[in-house]
Amino acid sequence: MNYYSLNKKAPDASFETAVRKGLAPDKGLYFPENISPLDDAFLNNIEKLSNVDIAFHAIKQFICPEIPEGDLKAIITDTLNFDFPIVQIEEGISTLELFHGPTMAFKDVGARFMARCLGYFNQDSTEEVTVLVATSGDTGGAVASGFLGVKGVRVVILYPSGKVSHVQEKQLTTLGQNITALEVDGTFDDCQDIVKRAFLDSDLTNQMALTSANSINVARWMPQMFYFMFAYKQLKHKNTPIVFSVPSGNFGNVCAGMLAQKLGLPFSHFIASNNANNVVQRYIESHQYNPLPSVQTISNAMDVGNPSNFIRIQELYNNDFEELKQNLSAYSFSDDETKAALLTIYKQSGYVADPHGAVGYLGCKSYKKEHPQAHTVFLETAHPTKFLDVVEEVIPKQIALPPQIQAVINKEKVATFVKNYSEFKSFLLEL
C-alpha cells in the first residue's frame, strides 16, 4: 500500500518510507491511499479470535507484503503481550484499561509496534536512524521502552521541563543505552515544534536519517485501532451500540478508533474528552479551528494546544464538517472537575482512575445526559500510580507501586537541558 501526504505536495511513499521519514517532504502527515472494509465473517466471529489474530487481520492491508505476513504476525505477537480488560464502573459506563504494558500507558502498543517494524527494516541495514519524539508525558516512556536496544536506532526524547509527572520523567530519563532525554524550557507544543523544525533543517537531514515516534508516524498511529477492536470483542454480546470516550491530546487515539470504524467496526459514536486544552471542542461548536498555546493541567498527557492528528480525522470524513459532527462530540473539563470525578468514581465503585481516565469518565456522563441508553466506554490510558501526587491528594487510599514503576522510580535521572531550537540542534549534531 502507498501512503500520500495530507498536504498533497509530495510523492506517494511506501510503508517503509513513511515509517522511516515520519513526515512527508512537504511537512504533511502520511495517510493510507485505501481503507478497505473488513469482511463480514471477521466481524461476525470476532469474539472467537485471539487479540493477535484480530490485530493481524485489521492491519495487514496497510503493511503486507512489504513486511511478509509471517513476520508481521510475529511483530504483532511480540507487541501484544499484555491484556486489555473491560471493567464496568456503573450502569452504562465501562472502562477499557490500556495500562497493562511495560510503561503502564496506552502508548505502549504503538511504540512497541513501530519499534519492531523499524527493527525489521533495519535488520540488513548499516544505516543508523535517529528517532525524535516530543512528549507531554506518556509517549516518552513508551518510546524509550519500546525502542530500547533496537538495532540501528538512536532515540532522542524531548519533554517540557516541570510539566510531566515524577514517574513519567523517570521512565524516559533512566534507561540509557540508545535512549537520550532532552529537558526543554517550554511546553509540549514547543517540543513538538522543535521536532517538526528538525525535519526541515537540511543541516541535520544531510547528516542523519531522522524519523518521529509521535503519533504523526503511521506505525505509531495505526496500531492504536487494535484496542478499540478488543473492546468490541468483549462487549459484542451486549448487542448495544458502543460509544467511546477518549481522553484526547494529540488526537491520534480517537483518530485510530475512527479508522477501525471505517474498517467496519460498528461503533456508534466517539467522544473527545478534553481538559482545558480544548481546540477541537471549540471547533465542533463553532466550525472555527483556532489553536491556542497549551496550558498546564493535572491530566498532562493531554496538554496539547495544536493536535497534529486532527487533520487525519478531517481526511477520514473527507473534510465534511457536518458528517464529522454527527460522529464526534467534544467536551472539556477543569482540574477541579477532574479531581471531583476521581473521588466520585472511587466512592461509587471502589475503582481508582488516573486523571486522564477521569476526564474520559466525565465525557461519558455528559454524553449520557442526552443519550441515556448508550453504553459508553472511557479509555483508562495510564495507571494511576503515574500520577500519585494528584490521585493520593483526592483518594483516601495508599496505592501500591506496580513492578513496572518500582523498576525505575529510584534510578538516577539523566537529561540534558536545552532552552531553544539552536541548543537542540547543536546537541544533535554533536551526538
How far apart (Å, rounded) are the C-alpha atoms in residues 346 and 323?
A: 37
DSSP state of 212: E
- Residue of 8, 21, 60, 107 with catalytic role: 107
Q: Which helix (H) or strand (E) holds 244?
A: strand 242-247
pTM: 0.91
Cα dihedral value 289, 291, 297, 302, nearest 10: 70
Q: Per-residue pLDDT for the chain (431 aa), expressed as one digit of tens each?
A: 999 999 999 999 999 999 988 889 998 999 999 999 999 999 999 999 999 999 999 999 999 999 999 999 999 999 999 999 999 999 999 999 999 999 899 999 999 999 999 989 988 877 788 999 998 777 888 888 888 988 888 999 999 999 888 888 999 999 888 999 999 999 988 998 999 899 889 999 999 989 888 888 999 999 999 999 999 999 998 888 899 999 998 899 999 999 999 999 999 999 999 999 999 999 999 999 999 988 889 998 898 888 989 999 999 999 999 999 999 999 999 999 999 999 999 999 999 999 999 999 999 999 999 999 999 999 999 999 988 889 999 998 888 888 988 888 889 999 999 999 999 999 999 88
CA Rg, the chain, in Å? 20
Q: What are phi and psi of 393, to 5 degrees?
A: -70, -25
Indicate if 27 belongs to the active site. no
Residue 371: the pLDDT is 94
CA of residue 239 relative to chain centroid, distance: 28
Residue 353: the pLDDT is 96
How far apart (Å, rounded) are the C-alpha atoms in residues 147 and 179?
A: 8
> pLDDT per residue over 144-185, tens digit each?
888 898 888 899 999 999 988 888 899 999 988 899 999 999
Residue 199: the pLDDT is 87
Q: 327: buried, middle or exposed (CB in 10 Å: 19+, 13-18, 0-12)?
A: middle
Residue 13: the pLDDT is 97
Domains of the chain in sequence order: 3-32+107-218+412-430 (3.40.50.1100), 83-104+221-399 (3.40.50.1100)
Residue 150: the pLDDT is 86
How far apart (Å, rounded) are the C-alpha atoms in residues 302 and 136?
A: 7
Residue 323: the pLDDT is 96
Q: Which three cell numbers stand for residue 35?
A: 481503507
How far apart (Å, rounded) are the C-alpha atoms in residues 136 and 114?
A: 19
Q: Which of 342, 260, 344 is nearest to 299 (CA)?
A: 342
How far apart (Å, rounded) are the C-alpha atoms in residues 394 and 390?
A: 7
Per the CB < 8 A criterion, the answer to whether 238 and 297 are in contact is: no
C-alpha dist (Å) from residue 398 to 342, 345, 388, 391: 14, 16, 9, 9
Q: What angle do CA 215, 403, 339 make, to 5 degrees?
A: 65
Residue 192: the pLDDT is 86
Residue 407: the pLDDT is 87
CA of residue 35 relative to chain centroid, distance: 20
Instruction: Spell out the SS3 assignment of 311-377.
Output: HHHHHHCCCCHHHHHHHEEEEECCHHHHHHHHHHHHHHHCCCCCHHHHHHHHHHHHHHHHCCCCEEE
- Give the DSSP letter string of 71-123: HHHHHHHHH--S---EEEEETTEEEEE---STTSBTHHHHHHHHHHHHHHHHT
Q: What angle do CA 100, 366, 364 make, to 5 degrees?
A: 20
How far apart (Å, rounded) are the C-alpha atoms in residues 40 and 421?
A: 50
Residue 136: the pLDDT is 79
How far apart (Å, rounded) are the C-alpha atoms in residues 20 and 17?
A: 5
